[in-house]
Amino acid sequence: MSSLSERPANPVVGHPIPHEAADLHVTGRALYTDDLVGRTKDCLHAWPVQAPHAHAAVTRVDTSPALDVEGVVRVLTADDVLGVNDAGVKHDEPLFPTEAMFYGHAIVWVLGETLEAARLGAAAIEIDYEPLPSLMTAREAIAAEAFQGAQPHMERGDIDRGLQDAAHVFHGEFEFKGQEHFYLETHCALAMVDENGQIFVQSSTQHPSETQEIVAHVLGLHSHEVTVQCLRMGGGFGGKEMQPHGLAAIAALGSVLTGRPVRLRLNRTLDMSMTGKRHGFHTQWRVGFDADGSLVALDATLTADGGWSLDLSEPVLARAVCHIDNAYWIPNVRVNGRIARTNKTSQTAFRGFGGPQGMLVIEDILGRCAPLLGKDPADLRRQNLYGPDQTTPYGQPVRQWDRLERAWEQVVTDGDITRRQQEVARFNATHADSKRGLALTPVKFGISFNLTAFNQGGALVLVYKDGSVLINHGGTEMGQGLHTKMLQVAATALGVPLTTVRLAPTRTDKVPNTSATAASSGADLNGGAIKNACEQIKERLTQVGSQHFGVSPADIRFEDGVVSAIGSRAEPMLWADLTQRAYFQRVQLSAAGYYRTEGLHWDSSIMQGEPFKYFANGVAATEVEVDGFTGAYRTRRVDIVHDVGESLSPLVDIGQIEGGFVQGAGWMTLEELVWDESDRPTRGKLATQAASTYKLPSFSEMPEVFNVALLQQAHEEGAVYGSKAVGEPPLMLAFSVREALRQAAAAFGAPGGSVELGLPATPEAVFWAIEDARSGRTDGGVERGSRAQQHVPDQPGPDAHPMHPRSEELASEPAKA
Amino acid sequence: MTNSPSQSPQITVNGTRRSLARTPSYLSLLDYLRGQGLTGAKEGCAEGECGACSVLVSRPDGAGSSWVAVNACLPPAVGYDGQEIVTAEGLGGSDGLHPVQEEMAHRGGSQCGYCTPGFVCSMAAEYYRADRAPTAHGADSATSSTTVAMDTGAETATDHEHGPNGFDLHALSGNLCRCTGYRPIRDAAYALGRPSAQDPLAHRRNEPAPEAVPTRVTDGMHEFVRPSTLHEAMTLLGDDRETRLVAGSTDWGVAANLLMARSPVLVAIDRLPELRELHEGPDHVEIGAALTLSEIERRLDGRVPLLAELFPQFASRLIRNGATLGGNLGTGSPIGDSPPVLLALESQLVLASTRGERVVPLADYFTGYRQTIRDSDELIKAVRIPLPLAASAAFHKIAKRRFDDISSVAVAFAVDIEDGVVRRARIGLGGVAATPLRAYETEAALEGRPWTLQTAQAAARVLGATGTPMDDHRASSRYRAAMLRTALLKFHSQTATQEVDA
C-alpha cells in the first residue's frame, strides 16, 4: 500500500458526513457571488446587446442613445479594451466581436446604476448588421467542410482485416444533441478595484487561475495584479470551466474604467443563449462481430459540433475518442475525430467531457445490433466486457477489469435481474398497451486530465498557535462536496477532529497556478496537495513531540487531537499544547502543499499512451414502463453498483452517483436543445432557452426505486487515502435508461426486432420507435453485410492535422516577460 | 377591507416590517427581498419554473390561516402590501435549524445549495399543511416498494409520491434540483414529523391571515393599484389607460422579468371577495375567477372529477398557489391546461364590467390566437360548470415531463355511456390550433353509437384530423396529430377497463 493511499487508524475520511456548508445552504445564509451585491456599495450592473443573427458582420455601432437613458453610466466596446480583446486562451474568442458568430452573441455591454437602466440602455443601442451565410448543424458543416482545430486519429490492429474476418458487419449513423448545464446559479462576476490598483474579482468559476489570466490579459496587467475568488458555485458541471472568463473580464474592465464595483450576472435567458453547452455529435460507424457476438472491429468517425470557436473542443474530442470502447474489448479499432464549426454557442466542458459522447456511440451500436445478432442486449454487453491482460485502443492496460465484472455480478444479484427479466417478459406478454424494458449498461471512465500538465494541485495549510487549522486549496466548490472531503483529508492527515479544521474560500492569491476543478480530479489533486502540506507540518511537530516525550519520532502518534508516544509513560498531550510549544520553539506551523499525478504519459499526436491514472467503474440496471398510446414512460427501478475506491466521504459520493445518474437521464430522455435551423430571420436562435422550454428532470423523473451501492474491496492504490474520483463517471450509468426504453419500445413489435431511438428519448421519440416496432421497421436503422462494409466512415482530408501534445509544447516555449 | 389606499406600503418579512415605499410595480417580490439583503430566495429562472425563489406567505384558511409557498420571482412586491411572508432565513438560522432544514441538511438534501432554500420553503408549507396525516398504505411504499402498479391512464399520484407521514411529493413539483437526483430530498420530506405545539409558525395558523390592503403606488411611470372593491377594479379597467389585471401574476411576471414588459397600470384583483366565491348549486358549480387553483382543488375536494384530474397536472404546486382560472382563461393562450377541461365540461364564463354582467359559453369565448370576445373593460368574474356532470371523464396531457410542463397537446373527455351506447360526448382540445377547441365532429362521430373499439377507432380518425397542429420545440405536428388520435383509443381502453373492474 502506498503512503498516499494508506489510511491511519480511526481516520476522519470514510465517515458519511453532510456537506460542510449544509447548514448554510438550508438557512439561505450560504453566499453565492450575486449575494455579495447587497453588501457592495455603489455597484453598477452590466447588460449586453445581443446580435439577432446567426452570423453577421457588425457594420455600425451607435452607443450614444444608451447614454441618454437615465441611469446609464457607460457602454463598453472594443475601443475600451486595455489589453487583448480576447476572452479565451486560443485567441479565437474576441470579447467584443466585429462579427456576430451566433444568435445572441454579445457585441457591447452597458453599465447602469440599476439593472433596469442597463437593460433599457442596451435596448436603445443601434447596431447595423450585414447577415452572412451560417451553418447550424454538424451535417451542414460536414457538407461545407467547415472544421476547426486538430483531427485526432486513433488506431489499433487492422481495421480492414478485422471487418473482413467478422461474421457480422453492420453500418449506421448516429447523431445526438448536446446538453445545457443548467446550473441553478447562472454565471456571475463582481469586480472591484482594490487598494493600490489591485483588481479583485469574485466569480462563479471552476477555474479561478484561468479567470485571473484572462482578466489580466484583457486589462493589460500581470497575473499578480488580479485576484480571483470563488466562494462557491450554485452548480458548475463543466459550464464554469471556460465560460466565466470573458464575463469576469467585462466586469473587471467596467470596474477599472468607472472606478466602481461592477456586477455582471446573466439571467437564465442570457446564460442559455450565450454560453457553451455539451457538444452534440454526428457519428458514422462500421462494426464487426464474430459468430458468437464478440466485438472484433470498430471503425468510426466522430464529428463534434463545436459551435463558433474552439474553446475546449479539442480535449473534449480527444476524450470522446478515448472512450469509444467504454468497457469493451475491441481488438481492431480505427477512430477519427474532427470538430465542426457552426454558428452556435461555443460548446464546452460538461460532466464527462466528451467521454459520454464516445461511450454513447458503442452503447447505441450494441443496443441496435444485439437483436440483429439474436442476442439479449445484456448478454451481449456482458460477454464483451474487458478481461485480463487487455488494453484500451490507446494502449493503456485495463488493470481493474475484475471490478467491472464484480460490479456487473453484484447488480445482477442485488437487483434480482434474472427474475425481473422474466417478470418483464410476462408483463409484456399480457399487456398490449404498455411495455416494460430492463437494461444493464457498464461504465469505465478514465481519470486524469488528458492534458498531462493539468494533473497537479496546490494547497496552503495554516496552523495557528491555538491549534486551530485553516486550509486553502486550489479546487472550487460547486456542490460536489470537494471542500467536505478536503476537511476530512486534513483532519485525517493531522490526526485532529474535524471541528479543528476550517476551510477558507478559493483564491488565487493563496494558491497559484491551479488547474480547473474538472475532470473529476478535484479530490485527487487537491487532496494530495493538502495531505502533503499537512504531512510537512506534522513531520515538524513530530520532532517537537519526540523531544517532549523523549522517544523516537517514529513513535509519535496523532489521533483525534491528542498526541502520544508509544512506549512512553508520559501523559499524552493535546494537539493545541503541541502547536503552542512548537511556536515557542520557532517551528514553522504552515506549509504549502503540492501534488502531481505520477505515472502518466500521453502523446496526443498519435493518441497513444497512458493518459489516465486509473479507471472508475460502474454498472447500472434500469427498468422502465412505456405507454403505447403516447410514448410516455416512468423509471420504475434503478440498481447501481459503482466503484469510488475506498470512499473519502460516502454521503457525498452516493450523492454524486445519484445526481450524476439523474442528470444523465435528463440528457438521455428529456433535455432538448432545439436551435432554429429554418431560413426565417430567427435562424440560429435557441428555441429552448428557458426553464419552461428546456425541461430538466424533476421529481417525476426520479426513479421510483433507487438503489445505489458502493463497490466494496475497492482500495485505489494510486490515490489519496485509497479513494477514487466520482464526479463524472456516474452520469454515464444513465445510458441504461435509454437502452431500457429502446427495449420497451421494441417489445411493441415482433420478438427479435431492433429499433432506432432518438436522443433525447422524449415521449415523442419513444412513440416513433414504438410505431416503427409496430409496423415492422425493426432493422435498427442499420445496414448489414457487404453493404455495410462499403460504408467507410469519412477519413481525414489532406489539411487535417493531428493533436499537439500541448503540455510539451508549452514546456519548450520561452517564458513570456 | 378599508377604502383608503395604503400610503406607506409595507411588508412583514420573517417577523420584521419593511417598507415597500418607492418600489416600482415591475419589481418582483424576489428582487425586493434580495435588495433588502436577504439572500435565501434565489433567482434560478425568473419564470416560476425552478422554485429557487420559493417563500411562504400567510393566506386565509377558514377562521385561521395557512402557510402557502409561492414563487417570489413572479408577483410584484407591492402586491404584498400588508402581507406576511417567511423566507428560509426566517425558518431557522444560527440559533437552530427548523425541522425541515435539519432533515434536508443531514440527509444530503443539499449539494450546491442554490436551490435549497426554495426547497426548504416548499417543504415547510407541506410540513405545516393542517390536513397532512400519515397514510394507511404509505408506510412501506416510500423506501422499499418495487412494484407500484403504473396507472397508465390518469397521470395522478401513485403511492411512491406520498410519504408515510402524508407528505405529498407534488408539494415539491415546482422545485428543480440539478445536483442531488432528488432521492435525499424525498427522504427528508418523508422523514418529517408533525410540528410541535411550541412551533411559532404552526401556532400562527390559528390566527387569521392579514387582509389585503388597498394600495396605490406609482414611480411616475408605472402605477400599481390594489382596489378595495370589484367596482373600483372595473372602473380602472374602463379608463383609457392600458391596464393590466394581475392575480397570481404567474403569466405577467414572466413577461415582466424576461421580456421587460411594463404596464402603466397594474391592477391586482386576486383578493377581491366578489371574485373569490365558490358556489355549488343544483344546476351548476360557480367558481370565482380569482380563487387560486389550489384553493379550488381543496374546496371542491374531487367533486368535479375532471378538474381533480387536471390540477395535479397543471404546472406546479407553487404556480397553482398563485394561478387562477380567470388568469388561465384571460390570457387566451391556446395551450392553457384549463380550457380543454372547461370546454369538455361545457362551462360558461361570467364577464363583468361597469356596464353589467353577461354569461357566455366558453366554446364561443376564444376568437383567435390570444384573442377572445372579452371587451377591454370586462373582466372574468366566475366560471360556471353545469350539472349534472358526465359519468366518464378523463384529461390527457401530452408533455415531455410529468410534473410541471406545458402541454404540447391536451385532450379532455366528458362522456355519458348508457347501456353500452355513447349518449353524449364533449371533448375539449388544447395545443392543436390557434385557440382551444371543442371537437364537435368527433363528438358527433361518437354520439348514438355503441362504445366499442370500432366506434373509438372511427372517431379517433376524425379526432386525429382536427385542428391545425404545428411543429415547435415541444412536439412535431405529426406527433400532435397522432396524440389526438391515440387519446380517444386510450380513453376507450381506460373506460373499458373500468367497466371490467366494476
Segment B389-412, tens digit of pLDDT? 999 999 999 999 989 999 999 999
Half-sphere exposure of B202 (CA within 13 A, CB side): 16
Give the mean model confidence (pLDDT) for residues A566-585: 95
- Residues with Cβ < 8 Å from B446, sequence gap 6 or more? B415, B422, B425, B455, B459
Q: Which fold has domain B392-501?
A: Enolase-like; domain 1 (3.30.390)
What is the three-state SS of A492-556? HHHCCCHHHEEECCEECCCCCCCCCCCCCCHHHHHHHHHHHHHHHHHHHHHHHHHHHHCCCHHHE
Instruction: Note the CATH architecture for domain A396-451+600-775.
Output: 2-Layer Sandwich (3.30)
Contact B173 A764 (CB under 8 A): no
* Chain A residues within an 8 Å CB radius of B396: 630
What residue has cell string 450509468? A733
CA A192 remoteness from chain centre: 30
Query: Between residues 215 and 254 of chain A, which touch chain B (CB distance below 8 Å)?
Result: 232-235, 237
Question: What is the Cα–Cα distance from A151 to A145, expressed in whole angstroms?
Answer: 13
- Neighbour order of strands in the sheet with A469-473: A501-503, A469-473, A456-463, A590-596
Residue A311 scores a pLDDT above 50: yes
CATH of domain A1-30+456-543+559-582+591-596: 3.30.365.10
Give the type of residue at A164: Q
Which residues of chain B does CATH 3.10.20.30 include? 1-212
User: Is pLDDT of A225 > 50?
Assistant: yes
Give me the amino acid identity at B380: I
Contact indicator for B394, B468 with CB cutoff of 8 Å: no
If DSSP states are collapsed to H, E and C, what string results for A363-426? HHHHHHHHHHCCCCHHHHHHHHECCCCCECCCCCECCCHHHHHHHHHHHHHHCCHHHHHHHHHH
Distance CA B56, CA B13 (A): 10
Q: In what order do the strands lie in the sheet with A126-131?
A: A99-100, A56-62, A126-131
pLDDT greater than 80 at residue A138 = yes
- pLDDT at B148 (0 to 100): 33
Same fold for the pair A1-30+456-543+559-582+591-596 and A396-451+600-775? yes
Rounded Cα distance, B431 and B479, in Å = 12
Residue among B91, B93, B112 whose CB faces A478 most closely: B112
Q: Using one digit for the tens of pLDDT, what is the confidence trace for B126-146?
A: 999 999 999 765 444 434 333
Determine, for residues B404 and A698 on separate chains, whether the beta-carbon distance falls below 8 Å. yes
Catalytic pick among A20, A210, A672, A728: A728
Q: What is the ipTM of this complex?
A: 0.97
- The CATH 3.30.390.50 portion of chain B extends over 392-501
What's A454's DSSP letter?
G
Burial B27-49 (b: 16+ CB within 10 A, else e): bbbbbbbbeeebbbbbbbbbbbb
- Which residue among A234, A630, A651 places its CB closest to the CB of B483? A630
Pick the CATH number of B1-212 from 3.10.20.30, 1.10.3720.10, 3.30.450.20, 3.30.70.1230: 3.10.20.30
Query: What CATH architecture does domain B273-386 belong to?
Result: 2-Layer Sandwich (3.30)
Q: Give A 723-762 residues with CB within 8 A of chain B.
A: 762
pLDDT, one tens digit per residue, over A507-562 is 999 999 999 999 999 999 999 999 999 999 999 999 999 999 999 999 999 999 99
Q: What is the pLDDT of residues A656-711, one digit of tens each?
A: 999 999 999 999 999 999 999 999 999 999 999 999 999 999 999 999 999 999 99
Residue A68: pLDDT above 70?
yes
What pTM did the predictor assign?
Answer: 0.96
Is residue A570 a contact partner of residue A577, using CB atoms and an 8 Å limit? no
Residue B158 has pLDDT above 70, yes or no: no
From chain A, the residues in CB contact with B26 under 8 A are 116
Locate the chain B residue with the closest alpha carbon to A692.
B49
Measure in Å the smallest separation between the Cα of A231 and chain B Cα atoms: 11
pLDDT grade for A816, boundaries at 50, 70 and 90: very low
Strands (E), A28-113: 44-50, 56-62, 72-76, 99-100, 106-112
Q: Mean pLDDT, to the nearest integer, of B82-109? A: 96
Q: Which three three-digit cell numbers place residue A58?
A: 457588425
pLDDT band at B170 (very low <50, low <70, confident <90, very high): very high
pLDDT of residue B160: 85
Known catalytic residue at A728: yes
A positions 683-722 inside 8 Å of B (CB): 687-688, 690-693, 695-706
CB contact under 8 A, B108 and A182: no
A807 touches chain B (CB under 8 A): no
Pick the closest to residue B108 from A705, A240, A657 (CA basis). A657
pLDDT digits (tens, 9 = 90+) for A226-285: 999 999 999 999 999 999 999 999 999 999 999 999 999 999 999 999 999 999 999 999
Query: What is the rounded CA–CA span in Å between residue A706 and residue A708?
Result: 7
pLDDT bucket at A817, cuts 50 / 70 / 90: very low
Q: Over the Cα atoms of chain A, what is R_g? A: 27
CA distance B452 to chain A (A): 17
Q: Which residues from chain A sit within 8 angstroms of residue B184, using beta carbons? A: 655, 658
Mean pLDDT across the stretch B437-444?
A: 98
Selecting from B91, B111, B486 the residue whose C-beta is nearest the C-beta of A479 gives: B111
- Can you tell me whether residue A342 is helix, strand or coil? coil
Q: A-chain residues within 8 Å CB-CB of B158?
A: 704
Cell numbers standing for residue B236: 380602472
Which among A184, A480, A699 has the least Cβ separation from residue B172?
A699
Spell out the domain ranges in chain A.
1-30+456-543+559-582+591-596, 396-451+600-775
